[in-house]
């Protein structure tokens, strides 16, 4: 089970934002990789990959997005929120099949 918090947040442009994701089991695998990923789902668009294996930004993702954490506790941070960042953010685990968190809705103040 992947549990996200908060479920929604409202951020002023230029301010940072942080989303927490907790897993019911360790996502650290024997190969040394941590199998937690982050996606953004904007309205009217398909979901898009942001971060893979804990902290690796996907191609084209701005460096204001970063992933961190270890074991069962993870965080997605946006250093300076922009208007285009609105949408629902999901963490996901792939160590055992695939599970998404409930989602965190980001709005702009």
90 binds other proteins (CB under 8 A): yes
The 3 state secondary structure assigned to the chain is CEEEECCEEEECCCCCEEEEEEECCCCECCCCCECEEEEEECCCCCCEEEEECCCEECCCCCCCEEEEEECCEEEEEECCCCHHHCEEEEEEECCCCCEECCCEEEEEC
Binding mask 18-57 vs other proteins (x if CB under 8 A, - otherwise)? -----------------x-x-x-x---xxxxx--xx----
Residues interacting with other proteins, by CB under 8 A? 35, 37, 39, 41, 45-49, 52-53, 58, 88, 90, 92, 94, 97-103
């Amino acid at each position: 089970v992947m549990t996200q918090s908060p479920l929604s947040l409202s951020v002023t442009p230029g301010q940072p934002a942080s989303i927490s994701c907790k897993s019911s089991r360790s996502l650290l695998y024997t190969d040394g990789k941590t199998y937690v990923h982050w996606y953004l789902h904007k309205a009217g668009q398909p979901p898009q990959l942001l971060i893979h294996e804990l902290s690796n930004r996907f191609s084209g993702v701005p460096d204001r997005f970063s992933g961190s954490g270890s074991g069962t506790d993870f965080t997605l941070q946006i250093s300076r929120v922009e208007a285009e960042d609105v949408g629902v953010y999901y963490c996901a685990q792939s160590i055992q099949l695939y599970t998404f968190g409930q989602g965190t809705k980001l709005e702009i103040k």
